[in-house]
Amino acid sequence: MTEQVWIVGVINYDKWEVTWAAWQFVGVFDSEEKAVAACKTNRYFVAPYTVNEVAPEEARPIPGGYYPLAQNPTGLTTDSYESERGIVR
């Protein structure tokens, strides 16, 4: 059986001048509901992940990840990041 968990992270940046922003690990949860409850601002994201799966070495969006408190929460992408996600500094 493949076990899925939910990771929570928060984007940390001063200016959106790089291809990928740095993010801080917040926690790992056994349900999406618990992961979303851990989010405090619109910079927090949640994403499903399979236990014991090695992540790719290259930077990439996490499939199924989203920003639950953002105005437009779907997807973890860098295109028009702030405007698409409703992020307010």
- What is the domain range of residue 74? 4-85
Q: What pTM did the predictor assign?
A: 0.72
For the cut 60, the answer to whether the pLDDT of residue 78 exceeds it is no
pLDDT value, residue 6 = 97
Q: Give the helix ranges, DSSP H, for 1-89.
A: 32-37, 81-85
At 33-77, the pLDDT tens digits run 999 999 999 889 999 999 999 988 887 778 889 999 987 666 444
pLDDT value, residue 27 = 97
What is the secondary structure of 32-52 as a DSSP string?
HHHHHHT--STTEEEEEEETT
Give the β-pairing of 22-29 and 44-50: unpaired
- Provide mean pLDDT across the span 3-32: 81
Give how many domains the chain has, as a whole number. Answer: 1
